[in-house]
Amino acid sequence: MYGQHQYVVHADPASVVADLNTEPVRDHEPEVTEIIEMPASSTESWAVASTLGDLHDQICTCMQCPLGHTRTNFVFGSGNPNADIMVIGEAPGADEDEQGLPFVGRAGQLLTKILEAVSLSRDEVYICNILKCRPPNNRKPLAGETDQCEPYLWKQIELVQPKLILALGLTAANTLLKNKESMTNLRGKIHDYHGIRTLVTYHPAALLRNPEWKKFTWDDVKHLRNLYDAS
């Protein structure tokens, strides 16, 4: 099954299959529930949107937090609306704010390569962020911003119904999983996010600063690929 895929990082398919077959046994495989119900606020009109397009149109003028006043573009998300894999980052940066699309700057280009390394295209997955608007100078999201914005993400997850989530970086992971664990503790495990199996890896921007961590992310996306192929 794995042999059908072209793993572009390794030239020799035999070594790829060998690598994948020596994947360590993971902690636990949580039970996946049939219906994913996110705690979306039922009083808001966007909460009953039935498509991503509707949701986008209802929230793209959001002014619920101060980032609405400084953004150039609302960065909703991109990719396959029925994706089995949802990739979730932190917040738009300058390039994303400029273009209105997630992960299109330097970190985004690295993300594209990371996905391609396990034969995933950006169009096959769905890519978005915890925050839809750029924080000034790319500072970390504030708690109030996350509290306002995260219900939009819950609604996106409810509409896409992914089987797997890949959280990019500690901010995304700690926000989704509601913990303060370190990257070292979070990587290499399958987390249960409202019944969706969730993996955590380094943010591609962190990999640009620390290329020696790329080998860990390579392991993490191979794990993601294995779960995807088995799902």
**The one among 103, 126, 193, 228 contacting ligand URA by CB under 6 A:** 103
Cβ nearer to ligand URA, comparing 16 with 105: 105
Answer yes or no whether residue 87 interacts with ligand URA by CB under 6 A: no
CA distance 151 to 158: 10
**Residue 170 contacts by C-beta under 8 Å, 6 or more apart in sequence?**
182, 183, 186, 203
| Listed ranges 27-35, 48-56, 99-107, 144-152: which one lies at the site for ligand URA (CB under 6 A) | 99-107
Answer yes or no whether residue 156 interacts with ligand URA by CB under 6 A: no
- In angstroms, give the least distance from the CB of 75 to ligand URA: 6
| Listed ranges 17-25, 56-64, 200-208, 219-227: which one lies at the site for ligand URA (CB under 6 A) | 200-208
Answer yes or no whether residue 77 interacts with ligand URA by CB under 6 A: no
- In angstroms, give the least distance from the CB of 151 to ligand URA: 19
* Beta-bridge partners for 167: 88, 200
Answer yes or no whether residue 162 interacts with ligand URA by CB under 6 A: no
**Using CB atoms, what's the residue nearest to ligand URA?**
89
**The one among 122, 191, 197, 203 contacting ligand URA by CB under 6 A:** 203
Mode of pairing for the β-strands spanning 78-79 and 126-129:
antiparallel
Cβ nearer to ligand URA, comparing 92 with 151: 92
**With contact defined as beta carbons under 8 Å apart, do 75 and 100 qualify?**
yes
Helix (H, G, I), strand (E, B) or coil at 129: strand
Edge-to-edge strand ranges of the sheet holding 85-89 = 78-79, 126-129, 85-89, 164-168, 196-201, 191-193
Number of residues that bind ligand URA (CB under 6 A): 19
**With contact defined as beta carbons under 8 Å apart, do 172 and 111 qualify?**
no
Answer yes or no whether residue 149 interacts with ligand URA by CB under 6 A: no
**The one among 169, 174, 199, 221 contacting ligand URA by CB under 6 A:** 169
Amino acid at 170: L
List the one residue out of 8, 19, 211 whose CA is nearest residue 121: 8
List the one residue out of 36, 30, 31 whose CA is nearest residue 156: 36
Interface residues with ligand URA (CB under 6 A) are: 89-93, 96, 102-103, 105, 107-108, 129, 169-170, 183, 202-203, 205-206
